Structure 1
Amino acid sequence: MSTRHTPVTPRAARMTAGAVLGILTVSLAACAGQPTADPSASPSADATGAGHGAIAGAEEVAEPPLGLTTIDPDGQVTHLDLLDESVTEIGAISAPSAVATDGRYLFADNGDGIEIIDSGVWTWDHVDHLHYYRAEPTLLGAVDGEGAATIATTNSSTTGGTGISFAGSGDAVLLDTEALSKGEIRELFRFEREPHEGLVVPVGSFALVSDTDDGAVTTIAAYASDGEETGIEHPCTDPAGTVTTRVGAVIGCDDGALLAHVDGGELSIERIPFPDGAAPSAISAFHNREGRPTVAALAGPTDIRLLDTRERAWTLLTAPVPLVQVTAVDDEGGHLLALAQDGRMLVLSADDGSLLAETAPLVSESLADGAPPTLIADQHRAYLSAPAERRLYEIDYADGARIARTFDTATEPAFVAETGR
């Protein structure tokens, strides 16, 4: 279908929540403590964006422009502003089968490639302080590929690369994230491999790429961002699951994890094995509060594995009930968020896995219907999607798992990303 290669950039229609007319109805429940700052923009102090993440056409704002960007089963993309509760219809893409995000862009896999949505909101991390930006949301276009795609991002939406591994063709692709921030889809490299469910993980000016040996994935090889081989390889059987923290990029292997980072222009790859006695497990997904050093994963329904990338250490916990997802908040309160198989969101202790708080079953219908909910943690709130229930929940996990706000939707929020962070 030749038309899907043409970027679609309709002018977004911005509305108040009361004027959405069936797109999104907002109901509030006990919303004390929510952000009330004026999100109105002021001109960026650095118009060139040099060193502060600004992009031509974007405006700097005083508070994080947090939002929930959703895609329904038919591909309709909508953005809910969590500060003023206004809604933007961004446009429509092909019906996706999976979606990944870096906190600004959504990468939607439709089986024949990746379509990229720019939510138009992002945070730039200057280590000791942050800058917040808002621009016009848009549909950027598509990246061709065959079969299911695995996406790996960094914590920056204006620099570095974004990795795509296509299972059907085996193509390994590294996108230029800085070009994306200017509205251009540009491939830094693309090369063929044996078809497999692999990874392309950006790390500074490098990318780690899975490789096969007689059909088995056993090795991670490092490439420069222009596709040149570095000669650096590291054993990793069945690599699966990746996330980037402030320390570096994590890749799950069946005997632990690899941690890769760049120091002084040199790439370093470390192996962090599971503790003695831990069963081998190729972890399929890591989740955390974006950028924080500790990440969480499930190796089984009650087998929680926390990896502190700063300390290079695993913590093994046993969940009180079977889970479908776990997310490390990595805050002073030691909170760990989990979604139980019965639809409850649990707040657990990251020290011993004990139950600290819980909600009522919120997404049991979605779980029963095979409509996977999304659980997201940020500094102050958790966000839980309920596709079958047509609802989005905002939960104050530090206040006894109190439901702070509920957003009812007219269509299923099949895929949800918190953007602007």
Structure 2
Amino acid sequence: MLKITNVKTILTAPGGIDLVVVKVETNHDGLYGLGCATFTQRIFAVAAAINDYIKPFLLGKDPRRIEDLWQSAIVSGYWRNGPVINNAVSAMDMALWDIKGKMANMPVYELLGGKCRDGIPLYRHCDGGDAIAAEDNIRAAIEEGYQYVRCQMGMYGGAGTEDLKLINTHYDKAKNIHPKRSPRNKTSGIYFDPDAYARSIPKFFEHLRNKIGFDVEFIHDIHERVQPISALQMAKSLEEYRLFYLEDPVAPENVDFLNIMRQQTSTPIAMGELFVHLAEYKQLITQHLIDFIRCHISMIGGITPAKKLAALCELHGVRTAWHGPGDISPVGVVANMHIDLSISNFGIQEYTPMNDELREVFSGCPAIEQGYAYLNVKPGLGIDIDEQKAKKFPVAGGLPSWTNARTPDGTAARP
């Protein structure tokens, strides 16, 4: 009888970002699966959830029962969902799909229904300290073959640096704006002016369209960093620049405002990066309030729930745009792409280039050609990890500064 004999948690940071990968081993010689459980900001909490709860839950069970194991694991703690437990369950789920594919001698995308496309269109981050720098980065990406780019000035949602200088809010480099910080605020870190940011973006895209034209698709991420009314004003002012989509215009607690946005703007909306429960997406999808689903697959529990979410989106004309930042392991990257290949309502895939160290530790990473990703045809997820090489890149486990931004008066701002 096939059964799970061991669950190993591997912490590594070959790309300079803390990653969590799980290896599920079986009693069949050489048969194991890999899964991604990367929640960078809380890696040790996820590791503890895997080692203390998911591992004892899995030992001795049949790895072929993916649906049953997912359903029972997600309720095994009674209170279900949340980024820590979902990432732990995700690692299990991806590893089980990897095992299933290896047993069937097929790539996972074949088990999910087979290919719907040959290559996976990607979008790259082409950010810059000002509009001219962003323009230069966009042109470089176009030279590499990319036709979809995310355009930002500065950090997520806009601008901010450690020395408190707000990044340019106009394409004219001479017009730097410095937030008038509260003189009694001695807190160090990143500062952000939501109003200056919101005013800067229409001029930013005016510059980009005037210089680059309309033959490349632009994406912009608000990252929930402004009030809902400011997001609506931005969406309306950006209509003439025809974005591919405007991402996360409101915070999760303000999603009801999307009803108002939908009635007043034709700018396509992407939402859901911070969601951790499938029910959070349901109303937005079924009421046609969004155009793209932004989803970090390990945060909702892996391939099994993501495939179901994609099917719900298909029925309502919503396309996928899975989250693909640097804080996702190559195992998570290829899991995204196996779903991308097998669904008809694929929209776009975010992609963060992998350095040589990542590709050295993780063999079988996707090939990138002219703005498209191509998976190999190996059974399972088609990716492996060199555990000895992974040990050369220890994790830091610290708190990222970008999640602790503040407004000029010292108020904590959304990251």
Class of the TM-score when normalised by the shorter of the 2 chains: under 0.3
TM-score, L = length of structure 1: 0.27
Q: Which has the higher helix share?
A: 2
Q: Which has the higher strand share?
A: 1
TM-score, L = length of structure 2: 0.27
